[in-house]
Structure 1
Amino acid sequence: MQHIGIIGVGEIGKALVEGLRLDGSASPEIFLSPRGAHVAAELSERFEGVHVCADNQEVVDRADLVIIAVRRQDHHDALDGLTVADDKTVLSLMAGVAIDALRRTLDTNAPIVRAIPLPAVRERRSVTVTAPPHPAVDALFDQLGGSLPVADEDAFNVFSALTGTLTAHYAYLATLTSWAANHGITTDVAERYVRGLFQNVGRALNDESRSLDQLAADHETPKGNNERIRTTWFDPANAAALTQALDGLLADLK
């Protein structure tokens, strides 16, 4: 893709531009919508070959690959009246908007692909799920940390639900920090320790020779502290509640 257009320059749109420019290259050319004007203007000033368009139709007209990165609730307003030629490729980053629904909104026969990029694409460290597989889209995300193409939207929605657990993980770490602070540890010291503790967990995840269950077992001793917390806090009822929450989110995504 020599020309990429992005409609909706929020956190993910910005991360995509930064990831594509990480090596200092001015290719591909990137065309940004005026939506998110401050961020779009800042990116245009920072990077060669990044342009801010007058409106969303200009983004579509100048791009081979049109990335739609607006919020689900805003997409009708952002896309209303756009003409998308059939020789374009449309990449939707919107959670909960099915391909058929987006095709009706755009009234186009252009290929439409969905993806779930995360902010780490700016550092080319995010594996991005795509559906259905598409050579140009998958090549784009291979450049930004890796693509994980899946066959259909049913599988895609499962991964989308998994992505919805991210901030719960941060909240879990914040709860650990607050617990330590309530027991006399200063908040900054507690947070420093919790961050270091779970950064080491992240590094252990790089060892793909061990399953997640094996990693858990390798970090426990029988009747030790880790086993105690896992079996008393993350008990079957807690695991069932998490499963129920994910099932509810998956139903909404469908």
Structure 2
Amino acid sequence: MNRIGIIGVGEIGRAMVDGLCDGVQEPPEIHLSPRGARTAAELSERYPNVRVCADNQEVADRGELVILAVRPQDRAEALGGLQVGGDKVVLSVMAGVGIDELRDLLGTTAPVVRAIPLPAVRERRCVTVTFPAHPVVDAFFDGLGGSLPVADEASFGVFSTLTGTLSAHYAYLATLTAWAARQGIPAEAADRYVRSLFQAVGRALDDETRSPAQLAGDHETVGGSNERIRTTWFDAANAESLTKALDALLADLT
């Protein structure tokens, strides 16, 4: 679609605009809501194809694909009373808000699709989970790194739960850096090394011929340092604790 409207210009909204526009020869026409006014103004100044609308209704009127990117707790205030024509496609990136609820809130007959885009869409390298499959939405995310349609909303909830583990990964890296600093390593050197160490891990994940379990095995030797940390820290109790946390989050999201 050539006209895209985005209601809610937070981190994900900004990332999608960057991915659609940065270095692109013929970017689409993008209409932003005044929510997140500073970010919206910044994006409209950076990209000539981006403009800020007077209100959310103007975004919905101008966009052929209408993206709902407000915080879930703000949905009633931001979307209540919004009129979305049946000729549009609605794309929601709000976590934990089901399709039936969105239909009731908007009172629309337009197709409604959910998605889980991550900030890496700005680099057009991020696979985005969608439900249900829709040619317009899948083509949209194919241009931002790839789409992964799933069969039902229950499966979508599982992928949404997996997304909730990202900040824990960063906190793990921060813990490693802090530990090294307590051993007398300069904080800058510790930070630089930990970043380099796990950037290499990210590159190894590009090898899709090996599963994560195989990669774990390939990075340790019997009786070696990696095996020791895996078996003494990430033991059965630790894995069970993580599983219970994931189960609880999935229950909340669905």
TM-score range, shorter chain: over 0.9
* Contact persistence 1:26–1:47 (CA under 8 A): no
SS in 1 for 2:54: coil
Residues 71-121 of structure 1, C-alpha deviations (whole Å, 9 max, x = no match): 000011000111111111000000000000011000111100000111111
* Contact persistence 1:120–1:126 (CA under 8 A): yes
**Alignment partner, residue 67 of structure 2:** 67
**Alignment partner, residue 18 of structure 2:** 18
For 1:201, give the aligned amino acid.
V
Runs of 5+ consecutive residues of structure 1 not aligned to the other structure? none
**Alignment partner, residue 47 of structure 2:** 47
Measure, in 1, the Cα distance between the counterparts of 2:24 and 2:146.
Answer: 19
Identical pairs, percent: 70
For 2:9, give the aligned amino acid.
V
For 2:215, give the aligned amino acid.
L
Correspondences of 1:89-238 after superposition (within 5 Å): 89-238=89-238
Q: CA deviation at 1:23?
A: 2.6
Measure, in 2, the Cα distance between the counterparts of 1:83 and 1:13.
Answer: 21
SS in 1 for 2:151: coil
For 2:62, give the aligned amino acid.
R
Q: CA deviation at 1:162?
A: 0.2
Measure, in 2, the Cα distance between the counterparts of 1:90 and 1:225.
Answer: 50
For 1:166, give the aligned amino acid.
L
Q: CA deviation at 1:26?
A: 4.3
Structure 1 residue 30 and structure 2 residue 30: aligned? yes
TM-score (norm 2): 0.99
For 1:78, give the aligned amino acid.
A
* Contact persistence 1:2–1:64 (CA under 8 A): yes
* Contact persistence 1:33–1:40 (CA under 8 A): yes
Measure, in 1, the Cα distance between the counterparts of 2:77 and 2:131.
Answer: 24
RMSD (Å), alpha carbons: 0.7
How many residue pairs end up in the alignment?
254
Measure, in 1, the Cα distance between the counterparts of 2:81 and 2:25.
Answer: 34
For 1:22, give the aligned amino acid.
D
Q: CA deviation at 1:2?
A: 1.1
SS in 2 for 1:103: helix
For 2:7, give the aligned amino acid.
I
SS in 1 for 2:44: helix
Q: CA deviation at 1:160?
A: 0.3
Correspondences of 1:75-94 after superposition (within 5 Å): 75-94=75-94
For 2:156, give the aligned amino acid.
F
Runs of 5+ consecutive residues of structure 2 not aligned to the other structure? none
Residues 39-62 of structure 1, C-alpha deviations (whole Å, 9 max, x = no match): 111111111211110000000000
Q: CA deviation at 1:167?
A: 0.3
Measure, in 2, the Cα distance between the counterparts of 1:221 and 1:37.
Answer: 53
* Contact persistence 1:26–1:49 (CA under 8 A): no
For 1:139, give the aligned amino acid.
A
Measure, in 1, the Cα distance between the counterparts of 2:84 and 2:120.
Answer: 29
SS in 2 for 1:240: helix
Measure, in 1, the Cα distance between the counterparts of 2:19 and 2:25.
Answer: 10
Residues 159-198 of structure 1, C-alpha deviations (whole Å, 9 max, x = no match): 0000000000000000001111111111111111111100
Measure, in 2, the Cα distance between the counterparts of 1:205 and 1:24.
Answer: 27
Structure 1 residues 92-101 or 16-25, which shifts more? 16-25
TM-score (norm 1): 0.99
* Contact persistence 1:69–1:92 (CA under 8 A): yes
SS in 2 for 1:30: strand
